[in-house]
């Protein structure tokens, strides 16, 4: 009964891409650890780029620099 | 000083229902473990049905099947 | 299919007390929001008192003051 | 490679204030534990006041009482 | 710069299996969303079976029933 | 009433260093956002190096390469 929480920046992931993350995470836990898909949960959190920092700066600022 | 995080799908929980979850979670920790309500935190996260998967599919897809 | 994460300090909660938290959290989500117990997950994290802070001090230090 | 998750109520924190939280959290981990800023992540979650409870009541209700 | 948190019950996952979860989660985010592996974090939490509940009972109890 | 969760690898942080993380996180939220220290929680999770991955490999493996 695993629980997977995927956090990504909110930058336009489509419902199809999110469905693919759910499908593959569930499959991964079944193949690697034999976990039952019926009780595997996946939650995707999409985080505003102002609210995600790396190397001391927000992703909003980092995206502008590139 | 417990911390309770409740994650549910975003499907119309009312402020009254959320207040009830907060009230009962706090009371549960007081009754079961003697925790002080004054320092008990509860956070409710409401997750889009596209972003929650179970059994390898999103809740959006699962709801349509039923 | 809710997910409840309860975080408490590691100070001797018994398996019976933890089972009671699991039972009551699941019942709460069924009664307040009509959620299906079969797909309700509860995870309890027990945190070392050195690793939990409130009001700027660790619980280890706060417990000694009392 | 630390990960810092800051959860605050959604009550108008500005991008500048959030950038300051990111900057200072990263600096703190470098100064206290020698962690590399390049692989330090900070995520800020802003939570609706209806969804945050303390002492058994939502912050929405607590704010009205004051 | 995604962050993946995988929570499983503590029932003997080997370092090799955990390395495989890390490898595949990172690859999944690269293939599905084009995320850079260099800044993809994966954290695996192994939870005691007394501390994980499903359907209102701890996994410890559920395992005994089967 | 902020909540800060700091996740680091389990590599010997001392109680004094963890107390310093608690003290500084609390002070940061007071100075940047005016939050009340009395209701600021900090939880530090120390994660086994086998259970933390970056760039597709566990920290255990990465440490050996250096």
State the nearest Cα–Cα gap between B42 and chain A, in angstroms: 19
Q: Tens digit of pLDDT for each residue in C42-60?
A: 999 999 999 999 999 999 9
- List strands edge to edge, sheet with F41-47: A57-58, A52-54, D41-47, D3-9, F3-9, F41-47, C52-54, C57-58
Q: Tens digit of pLDDT for each residue in E16-48?
A: 999 999 999 999 999 999 999 999 999 999 999
- Token pair listed for A52: 């995600």
Q: Do the Cβ atoms of A41 and C41 come within 8 Å?
A: yes
Q: What's the mean pLDDT in F13-27?
A: 98
Looking at residue D1, what is its pLDDT? 81
Looking at residue D42, what is its pLDDT? 98
- Token pair listed for E31: 């293939």
| Cα gap D40→B46, rounded to integer Å | 27
pLDDT confidence bin for B55, thresholds 50/70/90: very high
% of chain B at pLDDT higher than 90: 95
SS (H, E, C) A2-65: CEEEEEEECCCCCHHHHHHHHHHHHHHHHHHHCCCHHHCEEEEEEECHHHEEECCEEHHHHHHH
Identify the structural domains of chain C with CATH numbers, from first to last. 3-65 (3.30.429.10)
pLDDT confidence bin for B39, thresholds 50/70/90: very high
Helix (H, G, I), strand (E, B) or coil at E54: strand
Region for F41 from its dihedrals, namely left if φ exceeds 0, alpha if ψ lies in -120 to 50, beta otherwise: beta
Q: Tens digit of pLDDT for each residue in F33-57?
A: 999 999 999 999 999 999 999 999 9
Whole-model pTM: value is 0.97
- Token pair listed for E20: 């495989």
Kindly provide the ipTM of the predicted complex, given to two decimals: 0.97
| Cα gap E58→E53, rounded to integer Å | 4
- Is E38 part of the contact surface with chain F (CB cutoff 8 Å)? yes
- Active-site residue list of A: 2
Interchain contact A/F (3 or more Cβ pairs less than 8 Å) = no
pLDDT confidence bin for A1, thresholds 50/70/90: confident
- HSE, CB side, 13 Å, CA atoms: give it for residue C63: 12
- Active-site residue list of E: 2
Q: What's the mean pLDDT in A10-15?
A: 96
Q: Which residues of E touch A21 (CB under 8 A)?
A: 28-29, 32-33
């Amino acid at each position: 009964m695993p629980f997977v929480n995927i956090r990504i920046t909110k930058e336009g992931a489509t419902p199809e891409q999110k469905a693919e993350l759910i499908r593959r995470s569930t499959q991964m836990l079944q193949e690697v650890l034999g976990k039952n898909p019926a009780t595997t949960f996946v939650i995707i959190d999409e985080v505003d780029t102002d609210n995600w920092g790396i190397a001391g700066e927000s992703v909003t600022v980092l995206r502008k620099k590139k």
